């Protein structure tokens, strides 16, 4: 005679439900959707300090990042820091900045997401810079120049400090040394041609005058991209640092919520796409 099955206790059922929920939440966070908080004004006005966003981590397993996508990625020079910027040049593109104008492959792009800046700025020029792509053949020749697919590559002049705790680096060290296995490499020694193993992207903040982006620390490697930002689920306008300031914000809760930003979708309409001027 079969023994009757014991019914699960309420406590056991609750524990199992909690464990399953935790496992599903971890899987969702790791592979599907992750929440991030915006800590700086580098992406204003698209994203503001205190915006809480969702990032699609699933999308780029099936398609490549596109021009004007707002992406979250591991900072190229520090694994523990996450950055959020906009893609303005794709693998294989040539990018250049003249004053406030961005040129990709020699053509100016309209950027409706960049807030107008009426201030006069001193003449500024960055690039042209070649964005590496998977399959590119790179080498250093005896003339101490970098070549990609047999063509010499222009390298930014001056010194850069991509690592806040490290020494100043040359343009080659900042933008192109990561392509090579030897991280101590300079242009002084020839390197035989070899293939680039991943795609790279050039990113900028929408708030160009207050953004530490690819102009200062180089390209974003494809395997460091976490996902595409697509949704603002919460926005809190309280830049408090001290406990008393947090208490003050909490007592005036409704005044500090940016109600008009809640539920806003990002980058899903044609108006958010970079447009090439003919």
pLDDT of residue 117: 72
Kindly tell me if the per-residue pLDDT of 233 is higher than 60.
yes
Residue 44 Ramachandran class (φ > 0 left, ψ -120 to 50 alpha, else beta)? beta
Which one is catalytic: 8, 37, 40, 42? 42
Pairing between β-strand 82-89 and β-strand 70-74 as defined by DSSP bridges: antiparallel
Question: Contact 82/226 with Cβ under 8 angstroms?
Answer: yes
- Domain count across the chain: 2
214 and 161 within one domain? no
Pairing between β-strand 159-160 and β-strand 169-170 as defined by DSSP bridges: antiparallel
Question: How confident is the prediction for the chain on average, in pLDDT?
Answer: 85
Q: What is the mean pLDDT of residues 116-145?
A: 88
Kindly tell me if the per-residue pLDDT of 278 is higher than 60.
no
CA 60 to chain centre: 13
Greater pLDDT, 121 or 224: 224
Greater pLDDT, 52 or 256: 52
pLDDT of residue 176: 97
Greater pLDDT, 243 or 100: 100
Q: What is the mean pLDDT of residues 6-12?
A: 63
CATH number for position 216: 2.10.109.10
Assigned token pair, 91: 């693998």
Q: What is the mean pLDDT of residues 173-200?
A: 94
Assigned token pair, 245: 């300031």
192 and 172 within one domain? yes
SS3 at position 200? strand
The span from the CA of 107 to the CA of 19, in Å, is 54
pLDDT of residue 240: 58
Structural domain including 61 reads: 11-90+201-244+257-269
78-90 burial by CB neighbour count: b if 16+ within 10 A, else e? Answer: eeeebbbbbbbbb
**Is-catalytic flag, 85?**
yes
pLDDT of residue 139: 97
Measuring CA to CA, which residue among 256, 273, 204, 239 is closest to residue 38?
239
Question: Is the residue at 193 inside a domain?
Answer: yes
Which one is catalytic: 8, 57, 85, 170? 85
- Over the stretch 79-104, which tens digit does the pLDDT of each residue have? 999 999 999 999 999 999 998 899 99
């Amino acid at each position: 005679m079969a023994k009757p099955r014991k019914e699960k206790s309420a406590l056991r059922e609750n524990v199992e439900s909690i464990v399953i929920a935790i496992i599903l939440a971890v899987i969702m966070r790791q592979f599907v959707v992750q929440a991030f908080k915006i800590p700086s004004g580098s992406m204003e006005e698209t994203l503001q300090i205190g915006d809480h966003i969702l990032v699609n981590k699933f999308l780029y397993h099936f398609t490549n990042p596109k021009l004007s996508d707002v992406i979250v990625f591991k900072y190229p020079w520090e694994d523990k820091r996450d950055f959020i910027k906009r893609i303005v040049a794709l693998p294989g593109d040539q990018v250049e900045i003249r004053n406030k104008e961005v040129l990709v492959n020699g053509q100016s792009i309209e950027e409706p997401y960049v807030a107008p800046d009426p201030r006069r700025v001193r003449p500024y020029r960055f690039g042209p810079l070649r964005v590496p792509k998977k399959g590119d053949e790179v080498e250093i020749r005896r003339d101490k120049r970098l070549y990609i697919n047999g063509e010499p590559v222009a390298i930014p002049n001056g010194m850069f400090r991509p690592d806040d705790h490290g020494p100043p680096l040359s343009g080659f060290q900042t933008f192109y040394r990561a392509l090579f296995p030897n991280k101590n490499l300079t242009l002084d020694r020839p390197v035989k041609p070899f293939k680039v193993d991943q795609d790279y992207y050039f990113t900028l903040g929408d708030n160009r005058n207050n953004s530490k982006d690819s102009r200062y620390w180089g390209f974003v490697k494809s395997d460091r991209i976490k996902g595409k930002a697509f949704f603002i689920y919460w926005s809190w306008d309280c830049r408090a640092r001290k406990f008393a300031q947090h208490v003050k914000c909490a007592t005036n809760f409704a005044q500090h919520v940016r109600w008009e930003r809640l539920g806003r979708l990002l980058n899903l309409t044609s108006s958010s796409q970079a447009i090439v001027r003919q």
